[in-house]
Amino acid sequence: MAAESGEGGIVLDPMHQFQIQRILPLEIGGVDVSFTNASLFMVLAVVFVSLFTMASMGRRALVPGRMQSMAELSYEFVANMVRENAGTEGMKYFPFIFSLFMFILFANMLGMIPYAFTVTSHIIVTFALALAVFIGVTVIGFMKHGLGYFRLIVPHGAPVVLLPLLVVIELISYLTRPISLSVRLFANMLAGHTMLKVFGGFVVMMGVFGGWLPLVAMVAFTGLEFLVAFLQAYVFAILACIYLNDALHLH
């Protein structure tokens, strides 16, 4: 925790939780590829997702137990999301969306455990994910429509005189996708976790007498953060579906 009450007062550093620490220093060809706490929690997220899906589906009972119900629920949740937003054609890419959703969800949820590191509060992580979606969707679009995919950035029904301007605007609008996608997830996680830490600091600072009010707020914020953790994973996945739909069904 960042908030520590020492002898000489309280050291409150809400950003300390986002620091990257090298666990296993490693350098290959002059590039720092150390195994850090961020890497550790990404690996943990993958391990937990794999355990969750494989262990709970290991014993495929007709009447599902608790864990199997949860696994089936998440499967159907994502499957419905893909089908509704990208059509039946989009189901081809269901494995990718499912992995994306589960990874972000587990990374967010692991971050809610005290002392854990929130991987998704780093823009480089979310940007890499968003870039994977963006490049993948663009490649799919070009594979499916060839050069006709450029029709996506040509608004129909626009006067020819304005077309050059509109095409540039649409192109920029298309290029903002990975940025808005990644910034949304990153900013939500960063803001939420910073807020939790700041209010945690208030509880310590105000002590036994005044600390109860921020403590109550903390409890509420923690609940809210769990909601945000889920919601942002959902938003990320659903936007990936919408982009996929744009690439599959050119309007």
Q: Give the integer Cα–Cα distance in Å for 96 and 133.
A: 9
Considering the rule CB under 8 A, would residue 56 count as an interface residue with another protein? no
Assess contact for 218 and 111: CB atoms under 8 A: no
Considering the rule CB under 8 A, would residue 90 count as an interface residue with another protein? yes
Tally Cβ neighbours within 10 Å of residue 114: 8
Among 64, 87, 136, 211, binds another protein (CB under 8 A): 87
Considering the rule CB under 8 A, would residue 135 count as an interface residue with another protein? no
Among 80, 128, 151, 210, binds another protein (CB under 8 A): 80
Q: Give the integer Cα–Cα distance in Å for 52 and 46.
A: 10
Considering the rule CB under 8 A, would residue 108 count as an interface residue with another protein? no
Considering the rule CB under 8 A, would residue 180 count as an interface residue with another protein? yes
Considering the rule CB under 8 A, would residue 64 count as an interface residue with another protein? no
Tell which positions 181-220 bind another protein, by CB under 8 A.
Answer: 183-184, 187-188
Q: Give the integer Cα–Cα distance in Å for 99 and 82.
A: 13
Tokens of 149: 């995919």
Q: Give the integer Cα–Cα distance in Å for 206 and 212.
A: 8
Piece of 12-20, 48-56, 195-203, 228-236 that binds another protein (CB under 8 A): 228-236
Piece of 26-34, 40-48, 98-106, 234-242 that binds another protein (CB under 8 A): 234-242
Considering the rule CB under 8 A, would residue 170 count as an interface residue with another protein? yes
Considering the rule CB under 8 A, would residue 165 count as an interface residue with another protein? yes
Among 44, 70, 131, 179, binds another protein (CB under 8 A): 179
Considering the rule CB under 8 A, would residue 69 count as an interface residue with another protein? no
Helix residue spans in 112-162 (DSSP H): 123-145
* Spatial CA neighbour of 237 closest among 111, 119, 90: 90
Q: What torsion do the CA atoms of 143, 146, 149, 150 make, to the nearest 10 degrees?
A: 140
Tally Cβ neighbours within 10 Å of residue 87: 14
Considering the rule CB under 8 A, would residue 85 count as an interface residue with another protein? yes
Assess contact for 45 and 119: CB atoms under 8 A: yes
Which residues of the chain form contacts with another protein (CB under 8 A)? 73, 76-77, 80-81, 83-88, 90, 165, 168-170, 172-173, 175-176, 179-180, 183-184, 187-188, 230-231, 234-235, 238-239, 242, 245, 249
